[in-house]
Structure 1
Amino acid sequence: MSSKARCFITGITGMVGSHLVDFLLENTDWEIYGLLRWRSPLDNIYHLLPRINARDRIHLIYGDLRDSLSMDSAVREAKPDFVFHLAAQSFPKTSFESPIETYDTNVEGTERLLAALRKHAPQAIIHVCASSEVFGRVPKEKLPIDEECTFHPASPYAISKVGTDLIGRYYGEAYDMTVMTTRMFTHTGPRRGDVFAESTFAKQIAMIEAGLIPAVVKTGNLDSLRTWADVRDAVRGYYMLVTINPIKGAYYNIGGSYTCSVKDMLDTLISMSPKANQISVEIDPERLRPIDADLQVPDTRKFKAVTGWEPTIPFEQTMRDLLDYWRDRIKQGGRFLTR
């Protein structure tokens, strides 16, 4: 790749965006432009702030997917060769309370971004991140889920990601732009937001170990089946997507190789704690969704055939690294919501 290659990452301060920056700094010489809102927390890129301050390959651009003018300005500034559209209102449970914000950010925001790219960087190779949640409630006989499985979204978030997916494919087909969409299945690891099941479990266990809360882990639905991937494998896959045989309008399922229930995942985390024998589990009704996508097992052969990508980080390492991340956060002190 040219040393002058430039990439634009929306959602640079998120779990995935921050890990993608780490990967690109180590494996490319690209200039990295990251979109964030002025009020976005910087925790996930805290370790990068010296390089950001020095303008050492990382440049922050303030904007908002809900503002067309800021999208136009951001794309003009970034002048990207590669785009990773990761930003979203990404929490399914919140989308039930805030559906309009979710649709505006995820559906119309994607339209605003792609319209700006069509205008200012039509040559860019673009990754639009949809979600496995588009498939929603899938009957067992259709497992594993391939790319042609019918969409049956089970939340406003999932509905918004159907729109994200279709807009990305539309731009690829209608405007001859190299836009590819991915339906990434469950992916996690250090820096995962505490509103997501495995991260809130790890956080609660770390707080129990530190004596901050009683030895009870509060949960939502434990029966859902998930295939787990590590976020560090995911971002390597995203890099391979845009650099190995990019195909206009293509769409791919990506996911890990280890499948288990949310309960089994929780049991794994608890088993890693020295206080495992003291910890009990309690269902919290406030953590239950009105409807759940309960079978999320991907068929990833199409993506692997095109790129050669394979997940390499074992499930147990992902869970241990997530738990250690929360242990470190809590050792640093401060106060934490028990969510």
Structure 2
Amino acid sequence: MTAAPRALITGITGMVGSHLAEYLLENTDWEIHGMLRWRSPLDNLAGLTDRINRKDRVHLVYGDLRDELAVRHVVETSRPDYVFHLAAQSFPRTSFDSPLDTLDTNVQGTVRVLEALRRASPEAFIHVCSSSEVFGRVPREKLPINEDCSFHPASPYAISKVGTDLVGRYYAEAYGMRVLVTRMFTHTGPRRGDVFAESTFAKQIALIERGAVEPVVKVGNLDSLRTVADVRDAVRAYHMLLTVDPRPGAVYNIGGTHSCTVGRILQDLIDLSPRRDEIRVEVDPDRLRPIDADLQVPDTGRFQAHTGWQPRIPYERTIKDLLNYWRDRVAREDGRLLVR
């Protein structure tokens, strides 16, 4: 009997990593190995706890992108056929406060992963997750953004993702490794971290509904234009990336079809609340970036033409599911959550 393929997901405890693990379990026969730090919260893996405990196709391996020996151990333990490199310091606002940590984790961390794979699993198909943030401040006349648009990163996080992007392509070209790079535009849904704009809005609204805070939503820049995709569509795209005629060295934009301002997302979330008429909006200077990537609208034609992928989940369901996720979290914690 032929052994089932083995997949390695770095950052399995994140929003995307946990959804990807669930998708692969449901839609493939693969064995899933997930890399996480020893201190990573396990909340997002709650639905997989039983399988993890029974070692039923899900195996956790501890590692940190800043620890070369640990990364090597993860790769040698998992010996993957498919790799989804999702782990990162992924918060743009945080990167202004911790630029060196962001660069080390994201750029050198990716080098550590690819070097370990070059030695232990050189035939693996590897997804390196870059970001639409690499495009940064794009002139309006260049919308929608295609893969050939020049980089103009607007945060240390975005700069780190430029490095990640280039490192991925370098390993494909220099060593013939099967590396493919994606630049995912805004994607959200259940389990989205509360340091991201639309998720902190939903969290604050859930806290307001619970009576835990005053009916004020604190915000940053509401004028940025975003195209929103659902995380569950994103992980389906990532699976297709490595299984539908994968082309090493390829780079793809991936994203949704619903474009609106951050302010519109906020209003749509408020409109879902029974306390909508009471809620006020207040700009918090601490939530403003020094500069912002303010026009993020993708051209995803290259990826769609190659794989046939299309987003399926409508924007309205995405934001409703996000708000309900936070309502459930706030109820479980009885409102005892920090506003971030």
Aligned-partner Cα distance in 2 for 1:7–1:280: 46
Among the aligned pairs, what percent are the same residue?
68
Name the structure 2 match of 1:211: 211
Name the structure 2 match of 1:308: 308
Aligned 8 A contact 1:103 1:160 in 2: yes
Q: Does 1:188 align with 2:188?
A: yes
Shift of 1:47: 1.7
For normalisation by structure 1, the TM-score amounts to 0.99
1:26 aligned partner, one-letter code: E
Name the structure 2 match of 1:154: 154
Q: Does 1:338 align with 2:331?
A: no
2:79 aligned partner, one-letter code: K
Name the structure 2 match of 1:283: 283
Name the structure 2 match of 1:299: 299
Any gaps of 5 or more consecutive residues in structure 2? none
Aligned 8 A contact 1:199 1:322 in 2: yes
Deviations 1:214-237 (A, max 9, x none): 111110000000000000000000
- Counterparts of residues 68-217 of structure 1 (less than 5 Å): 68-217=68-217
2:51 aligned partner, one-letter code: R
Aligned 8 A contact 1:3 1:30 in 2: no
Aligned-partner Cα distance in 1 for 2:116–2:57: 23
Deviations 1:266-322 (A, max 9, x none): 010000001111111110101000000000000000000111000010001000000
Q: Does 1:56 align with 2:56?
A: yes
Aligned 8 A contact 1:3 1:29 in 2: no
For residue 65 of structure 2, give the secondary structure of its aligned residue in structure 1.
coil
For residue 179 of structure 2, give the secondary structure of its aligned residue in structure 1.
strand
Deviations 1:81-140 (A, max 9, x none): 000000000000110110000000000000000000000000000000000000000000
Aligned-partner Cα distance in 2 for 1:91–1:64: 17
Aligned-partner Cα distance in 1 for 2:74–2:329: 32
2:240 aligned partner, one-letter code: M
Q: CA RMSD in A?
A: 0.7
2:12 aligned partner, one-letter code: I
Aligned-partner Cα distance in 2 for 1:48–1:27: 15
For normalisation by structure 2, the TM-score amounts to 0.99
Aligned-partner Cα distance in 2 for 1:242–1:138: 29
Aligned 8 A contact 1:89 1:102 in 2: yes
Aligned 8 A contact 1:145 1:298 in 2: yes
Aligned-partner Cα distance in 2 for 1:51–1:244: 28
Name the structure 2 match of 1:256: 256
Aligned-partner Cα distance in 2 for 1:105–1:115: 15
Shift of 1:3: 5.4
For residue 278 of structure 1, give the secondary structure of its aligned residue in structure 2.
coil
For residue 151 of structure 1, give the secondary structure of its aligned residue in structure 2.
coil
Aligned-partner Cα distance in 2 for 1:17–1:125: 17
Shift of 1:46: 1.4
Aligned-partner Cα distance in 1 for 2:239–2:3: 16
Any gaps of 5 or more consecutive residues in structure 1? none
| Number of matched pairs | 338
For residue 153 of structure 2, give the secondary structure of its aligned residue in structure 1.
coil
1:12 aligned partner, one-letter code: I
For residue 277 of structure 1, give the secondary structure of its aligned residue in structure 2.
coil
Deviations 1:147-197 (A, max 9, x none): 000000000000000000000001011111110000000000000000100
Shift of 1:331: 1.1
Shift of 1:333: 2.2
CA distance change for structure 1 residues 3 and 312 in 2, over 3 Å: closer, same or farther? farther
Aligned-partner Cα distance in 2 for 1:307–1:173: 22
2:43 aligned partner, one-letter code: D
Aligned 8 A contact 1:7 1:30 in 2: yes
Aligned-partner Cα distance in 1 for 2:3–2:48: 21
Aligned-partner Cα distance in 2 for 1:102–1:195: 15
Shift of 1:327: 0.5
Aligned-partner Cα distance in 2 for 1:3–1:218: 52
1:336 aligned partner, one-letter code: L
Aligned-partner Cα distance in 1 for 2:248–2:103: 25
Shift of 1:14: 0.2
Aligned-partner Cα distance in 2 for 1:62–1:332: 28
